[in-house]
Amino acid sequence: MRPPAFPEDFNLSDYFLFDRVKEGLGARTALRFGEHAITYDEVARRALATSTVLRRAGLPRGGRVLIVLRDIPAFAWAFFGVLRAGGVVALGNPDSDPDAIAYLLRYTGASMVICPPRVAEAVADKLGGVRAMAGNPGGSGALTRTFVVHEPATGEDPRQRCDGEQLARLFDASDLETALAAVDPTKPPHVARTHRDEPAIWLFTSGSTGRPKAAMHAHRDFAFNTEVFAKGTVGLRQTDTTVSVPRLFFGYATGTNLMFPFAVGATVGLFAERPTPESLVDAITRYQPTVLTLVPTMMGKLLEHDAAERARGNAGLDLSRLRFSYSAGEALPATLLTRFTERFGGEVNDGIGSAEMFHIYASNRPGDVKPGSLGKVVNGYTLKILPEDAEGPGAPEVPAGEIGVLWVKGDSVALGYWLDRDKSFATFHGAWCRTGDLFHVDAEGYLYFDGRADDLLKVSGIFVAPLEVEECLLSHPDVAAVSVIGADDQGLMKPKAVVVPRDAAVLTRADRRIELRATLKEHVKSRLAKHKYPRFVVFVDELPKNDRGKVDRKGLAAREAEGALPEEPT
């Protein structure tokens, strides 16, 4: 396959949005939000007005704008408006604590922030501190403007203006909706010409090994992956309607529930509420999606919610219009995949991607799903599985079936990490990226995830991949979720399983815990090598998650180090 090429004069706002209007698709519904439908024409008009507002407010070319919004329509015109203005998009989680948002402002050196009043109020003192820091580390200058956006519930009009009293409490704050309304539509909007290799969007790592760091991406990176993955591999269509569990600030969803559907003129269904089985079922019922962006944890919760509803005599969840679902972000056990597709039908295309490569570069695909695997390499990318100590992509690959570190090459590779040259040199090798993920490949070319290299546990002198033990435990019907971490046993490293039981009564009855603990240990002993079974099993009601929805292994390890996860004596 010949890789797609893009002209030097290239801007993502054209590729994803304004080209749809030029193609005559302006009257099509781009966004649905509750009962409100917003066309491509309207999103384009508001994105152009946003671009004009930002430039008039002093946004320099290449200046960073931190967008901290829920999944509401304003996210779309803020996102494309920054790009159209020649700015760089950085995305923050609107549910983060004020310290985390202040960290992003300091780290990115953002000159402007777009957020709801509650976020601006929560970090007002910290925003003022950032603004006063002329020596912003790595920044192009201190924060100069805050644009606030009304934060509607899904049933409300998404184009309302903010309350004046809220604005009065904030420094240099403007209501974005009011500013957009003041732009004269008869005057030419501000349109920046950008190069395909100019920075466009910073994608943050999940921060599993510390503070999140930004992988800096150019305009063409996102278009490349859209062409080879969204269009070429999974075959997104103009007639599709998409809905997502992960939120838009997370690059996984920014792709599947904004960029990809906009690239083909499809419709995006948005809901502002926190994703729960209930809110997701409401969105599915309202929008009737043909493409759903999932994570394995929510797949399990949907099954449980559906079973509970049917047990009450109610109708179960109807996914009959669904063409396929994406799954990524965490391992999808084959047993969960089978249960999900047997109940709901359709296909689940489990894949692997990263902030460093923007999106998915290996995946199952329509008509070619192998349970337990992450499918095959996406056309346009090259993958190698190399020894853990390989210093570059030229090292000999490990034999098929053996575990090694995955390296990936493709035209969506990041320019590097912001303010971390040492880590950049260790991760990026020209067009190649060392992922740090452990994989093996079978004789047919299907990839299997074996965990992170830094997650391995050395037990009895032999490395154990927690993921293998977790998948074994998940095959037991009494286990809803599990994470395996290392625990000290008289100076020796041993596996500890932190289990969410399917029956909540286990959490309140000691006899049930003792019985299930012994059952699970024997379950693993009978299926895996003896040194891999968890010496300790503790039960919790929920596993901690980071803001990307992944299990927070670092948080669990910290709790273990503090002695907060003891196994009760039997």
Check pLDDT > 80 for residue 132: no
Check pLDDT > 60 for residue 570: no
The H-or-E segment that residue 565 falls in is none
Tracing tokens 């043909």 back to the chain, one arrives at 290
Give the mean model confidence (pLDDT) for residues 472-488. Answer: 90
pLDDT of residue 139: 42
Q: At what angle do helices 510-525 and 466-474 cross, to 10 degrees?
A: 120
Give the residue with greater pLDDT, 239 vs 511: 239
Residues of the chain with CATH 3.40.50.980: 40-194
Give the residue with greater pLDDT, 480 vs 261: 261
pLDDT of residue 352: 95
Give the least confident one: 196-210, 281-295, 428-442.
Answer: 196-210
Q: What is the largest CA-CA distance in the chain?
A: 77
Q: How far is CA 81 from CA 12, 28, 85, 320, 359, in A?
A: 10, 20, 6, 36, 22
What is the C-alpha separation between 567 and 64, in angstroms, rounded? Answer: 48
The domain defined by 218-452 folds into Rossmann fold (3.40.50)
Q: CA angle at residue 362 from 269 to 375, to 5 degrees? A: 100
- pLDDT digit string, tens, across residues 22-78: 999 999 999 999 999 999 999 999 999 999 999 999 999 999 999 999 999 999 999
pLDDT of residue 192: 87
In 3D, which of 82, 274, 251, 98 has the Cα closest to residue 176? 82
Q: What are phi and psi of 486, to 5 degrees?
A: -90, 145
Check pLDDT > 90 for residue 134: no
Of all residues in the chain, the percent with pLDDT exceeding 90 is 68
The domain defined by 40-194 folds into Rossmann fold (3.40.50)
Residues of the chain with CATH 3.30.300.30: 456-561
* HEC assignment per residue over 333-375: CHHHHHHHHHHHCCEEEEEEECHHHCCEEEECECCECCCCCCC
Q: 486 is written with which tokens?
A: 């290392």
Check pLDDT > 60 for residue 129: no
pLDDT band at 208 (very low <50, low <70, confident <90, very high): very low
The CATH number assigned to the domain with range 456-561 reads 3.30.300.30
Task: Let me know how many helices (H) and strands (E) the chain has, helices first.
Answer: 19, 27
Query: Residues near 557 by Cβ (< 8 Å), separated by ≥ 6?
Result: 485, 486
Of all residues in the chain, the percent with pLDDT exceeding 70 is 93
Residue 142 CB burial class (10 angstroms; 0-12, 13-18, ≥19): middle
Check pLDDT > 50 for residue 133: no
Check pLDDT > 90 for residue 494: no
- pLDDT digit string, tens, across residues 459-473: 766 678 788 888 899
Q: 355 is written with which tokens?
A: 């902030």
AA identity, residue 208? S
Check pLDDT > 80 for residue 124: no
Query: Residues near 364 by Cβ (< 8 Å), separated by ≥ 6?
Result: 347, 348, 349, 350, 351, 370, 373, 374, 375
Check pLDDT > 70 for residue 318: yes
Check pLDDT > 60 for residue 299: yes
- pLDDT digit string, tens, across residues 138-185: 444 467 788 999 999 998 999 888 876 666 666 567 889 999 999 998
Check pLDDT > 70 for residue 210: no
pLDDT of residue 442: 94
DSSP state of 567: P
Instruction: Quote the pTM value.
Output: 0.85
Check pLDDT > 90 for residue 207: no
pLDDT band at 323 (very low <50, low <70, confident <90, very high): very high
pLDDT band at 137 (very low <50, low <70, confident <90, very high): very low
Give buried/exposed letters for 405-431 (b at 16+ CB in 10 A, else e).
bbbbbbbbbbbbbbeeeeebeebbbee
Give the residue with greater pLDDT, 555 vs 411: 411
pLDDT of residue 429: 96
What is the C-alpha separation between 205 and 213, in angstroms, rounded? Answer: 6
Check pLDDT > 50 for residue 273: yes
Give the mean model confidence (pLDDT) for residues 90-100. Answer: 91
Give the least confident one: 79-83, 289-293, 403-407, 447-451.
Answer: 447-451
AA identity, residue 10? F
pLDDT of residue 454: 73
Q: CA angle at residue 255 from 253 to 260, to 5 degrees? A: 130
Mean of all residue pLDDT scores within the chain: 90
pLDDT of residue 464: 80
Give the residue with greater pLDDT, 504 vs 255: 255
In 3D, which of 361, 411, 359, 353 has the Cα closest to residue 224? 411
CA–centroid distance for 283 within its chain: 19
Residues of the chain with CATH 3.40.50.12780: 218-452
The H-or-E segment that residue 106 falls in is helix 98-108
What is the C-alpha separation between 308 and 233, in angstroms, rounded? Answer: 35
Q: How far is CA 128 from CA 22, 100, 140, 174, 322, in A?
A: 42, 15, 16, 15, 47
